[in-house]
Amino acid sequence: MFVVVTIVFIIVRIAPGDPAAVMLGPDATPQDVAALRTRLGLDQPLVVQYAIFFGQLLRGDLGESIFLNRPVLSALADRAEPTFFLTLFSILIAGMIAIPVGILSAYWRGSLFDQVSTTLAMLAASVPSFWLGLLLIQFFAVRLGIFPVSGYGGPGAGLGTRLMHLVLPALSLGVVSSALILRFTRASMLDVLNDDYVRTARSKGMGEMRVVMKHAFKNALIPVLTVIGLTAALLISGAVVTETVFGLPGVGSLVVSAVLRRDYPVIQGALLIVAALYVLINFLIDMLYLLVDPRVRY
């Protein structure tokens, strides 16, 4: 994490752009910008700024957002809900599409179903999620009027209303993410369907459903879990483009606006938390291996 902290700090500071200039607007004079830089401590040498940042970090303080006038941790906590639910629903949708279709594609390898599903998976993998998002908006929000176009509900919006705002973005991300999971599921199933223990199970007279689900799929799960975990880690770090298209106030949109405004503390804090979450999710996936495969030992 120390390396991450340092790299994040350096990348953020060497990128061109100035939060003071952004905050003061297009007609601010260079003198105004310089004065605000001084007030924000951005005129200090980088080493001094790094020491301050690191000192705060050791006390569990990610600093204060330049633009939001509030602690970075609290800004991130506010954004956690939409991002968490978006990730959850996207993974659920992706899993519900990809796992059954992947299993069936492998089972009926070479069939019309297999060819159609793998072609669709390739298409889904090639479609940018923002484009799919706009198509979904046009159809479900504009034409049918079932879901809202954007946002996360107004003041006092209940959980149900907020979740309604997540349906289209989750569908958009879920469809795109399903492509990779489907291909992994299919490939992994193809590997195990030809294994001896599957043949043995069949020869013992077990039903096909039981053979496929209990003997084949369970053994094919490890690569599938890995790819689901990686997808979840990517999504929880902020589905940047999708959140922007749908105007969702999640971690992704916070990071985007922080980058555009050069809100250094928010960029640093968000990247650190994301790095920690990435590690955590990978750790959880490793723990899941223990459950699905008794041969795995740490």
Partner 1 sequence: MRMREALLSGVVALVAGPALAQSGGGVINVATIGEPPTLDPMVSTADLVGIVTQHFFETLFTFDKDWKVTPLLAASMPEITDGGKVYTIKLRQGVTFHDGSDMTSEDVVASLKRWMEQASRGKQVAGNVDKVEAVDPTTVRITLKTPYAPLLALLAFNNSAAVIMPSEKMDVPMKEPVGTGPYKLKERKPDQYIQLVRNDAYKPLDGEGNGYGGARKPILDEIRFVPVPDPNTRVEGAISGQFDYVDSLPVESYDRIKNLETSKPVILKPFGWPVFVMNTKQGVMANVDARMAVRMALSMEDMLAAAFGNPEFYALDGAMYPKGYVWHTEAGVEGRYNVADPDKAKALLKKANYDNGPLRILTSRQYEFHYKMAQVAAEYLKQAGFKVDLQVVDWATLTQRRGDPALWDIYITHSPFLPEPALIGQLSESSPGWWSTPARKKAVDAFNTESDLSKRPALWAEVQKVIYDETPSIKIGDFNALSAQSPKLEGVVPAPWPYFWNVSIKK
Residues interacting with partner 1, by CB under 8 A?
A: 16-19, 21-33, 36, 67-69, 75, 78-79, 130, 134, 137-138, 141-142, 145, 148-152, 154-155, 244-247, 249, 253-254, 256-257, 260-262
DSSP three-state, residue 58: helix
Q: Indicate the residue type of 279.
A: V
For 297, which DSSP code?
Answer: -
Residue 282 sits at the vertex; the CA angle it makes with 118 and 227, to the nearest 5 degrees, is 5
**Of the two residues 86 and 103, which places its CB atom closer to partner 1 in the complex?**
86
Q: Over the Cα atoms of the chain, what is R_g?
A: 24
**Of the two residues 23 and 277, which places its CB atom closer to partner 1 in the complex?**
23
> CA 248 to CA 288: how far, in whole Å?
31
| CA-wise closest residue to 162 among 152, 151, 147, 148 | 152
Q: Are 280 and 105 in contact (CB under 8 A)?
A: no
**Of the two residues 257 and 282, which places its CB atom closer to partner 1 in the complex?**
257
Nearest approach in angstroms of CB 19 to partner 1 is: 8
Nearest approach in angstroms of CB 97 to partner 1 is: 25
> CA 163 to CA 150: how far, in whole Å?
12
**Of the two residues 142 and 296, which places its CB atom closer to partner 1 in the complex?**
142
Nearest approach in angstroms of CB 274 to partner 1 is: 17
**Of the two residues 97 and 266, which places its CB atom closer to partner 1 in the complex?**
266
Nearest approach in angstroms of CB 41 to partner 1 is: 14
Nearest approach in angstroms of CB 57 to partner 1 is: 23
**Of the two residues 18 and 195, which places its CB atom closer to partner 1 in the complex?**
18
Neighbours of 287 (CB within 10 A): 11
For 293, which DSSP code?
Answer: -
**Of the two residues 37 and 202, which places its CB atom closer to partner 1 in the complex?**
37
Give how far the C-alpha of residue 264 lies from the chain's centroid of Cα atoms, to the nearest Å.
Answer: 21
- Residue-wise DSSP of 82-132: HHHHHHHHHHHHHHHHHHHHHHHHHHTTTSHHHHHHHHHHHHHHHS-HHHH
For 248, which DSSP code?
Answer: -
Nearest approach in angstroms of CB 169 to partner 1 is: 11
Nearest approach in angstroms of CB 174 to partner 1 is: 19
